[in-house]
Amino acid sequence: MPIRPLNPFLDLEDSEFWDSYGIEMRLRFARKKRKGGLSWGLPIRKVIHMNPFNHHGIAHLSPSAVNMFTQSPSAWVAKALLGHKFSSGPKAWRGIAVEDGLNAYIFHSATPEEAIDVAMTNFDKLNSKALNVGEDVERERKRLDRYVLNSIDAMLEVVNEFGVGEPQAPPANGSWNGQWEVGLPCRFGEHQNDKVDVIGYLDFLYANDANKNTIVDLKTTARIPSEWQPNHAMQAAFYKRAHGNNPDVLFVYASPKEEGKPNAFHILRLDDETYQRELKRMKDTITRMSKMLKLSDDPFSLAEAVPHDETSFYWSNEKSLDQIIEDVKTAIENTTEE
């Protein structure tokens, strides 16, 4: 299923460290050339067809990275090229915690009450790392029990109404986050080297007696959409194509509505028209990403040139883009090379 073999030593690798190290070395090199007044000239990759993603140290993409570029190019550049770590908040913790509780219910025979306890415990762990005591944290925590219960009800309907079969536990030596890993190479040009791997992780995978697979993705939200949103549709289309065996793809939206109220959850099934449209949109977006990266070898130049909308939710409670650029430059200036 994955495009790359399972790595038995993955748990021993500090991939976050090496990613950060690689970004730092490229930025340091860019600053050195700028200070030295060296001319960039014709980028060498235009002569030898060097892959622009590889050139900028981007080993692979993800559906969330492609969506980030679509919605906020400056946020993607800040993260991928400048190494900025965007903060997560209570809504993100909520999604992780509810999925943890649902995993306990599905794979470890936890009762709904035990699943809620799992979600509460993991939410508090995530919050303890951020030391956030705002009203939004308490609001999300108070509604966790309803999110978990409505998610369980939604998954029961998935099993009973869609004939998905039994949940498939990820392989013990699988991906770092205990989920099914899927991926595919995406071609963005005519040259042999013009392709980049796109990697993603499935929330849940089911298989029925006919060996038909169904991918189920859980979304927790206070406002349930009635139709596909572009970012979720692209994600769903990627899952279907990357899995390789033409699975059904269901997105489950669970709300915190109280018991007895209508529309506590909603299930969307990926249709063929949406699948084809969004798969093409993902490829077109990756092609745009590659062309943008070809514009300069200098990550700072790209960060200073891409469209930037400070009102985007990506930039909520974050430093300004200008401040991030200056902080990175200062950090590099203050670093003494051994």
Q: Which of 23-37, 38-52, 162-176 has the lowest mean pLDDT?
A: 38-52
Within a domain: residue 303? yes
State the total domains in the chain: 2
For residue 252, the SS3 value is strand
Within a domain: residue 2? no
223/240 same-domain check? yes
Q: Please say whether the beta carbons of 229 and 217 come within 8 A.
A: no
pLDDT at 132 over 50: yes
The two three-digit tokens of residue 19, written as one number: 């990613």
Non-local CB neighbours of 208 within 8 Å, separated by 6+ positions: 163, 164, 165, 166, 214
Q: Which of 41-55, 121-135, 148-162 has the lowest mean pLDDT?
A: 41-55
**What residue numbers bound the domain in which 109 lies?**
90-187+200-282
Q: Which of 4-8, 70-74, 306-310 has the lowest mean pLDDT?
A: 4-8
The pLDDT tens digits for 232-254 are 999 999 999 999 999 999 999 99
| Domain containing residue 241: CATH number | 3.90.320
94/145 same-domain check? yes
237/208 same-domain check? yes
The pLDDT tens digits for 7-19 are 544 544 455 655 6
pLDDT in the model for residue 47: 42
145/169 same-domain check? yes
Q: Please say whether the beta carbons of 31 and 329 come within 8 A.
A: yes
The pLDDT tens digits for 52-79 are 999 999 999 999 999 999 999 999 999 9
291/261 same-domain check? no
Mean pLDDT of the chain: 88
Alpha-carbon torsion, ordered 328, 19, 26, 197, to 10 deg: -120
Expressed in angstroms, the distance from the first to the final Cα of the chain is 43
pLDDT in the model for residue 12: 46
pLDDT at 25 over 80: no
Please give the backbone phi and psi of residue 218, each rounded to the nearest 5 degrees, phi first. -100, 130
Q: Which helix (H) or strand (E) holds 287?
A: helix 272-293
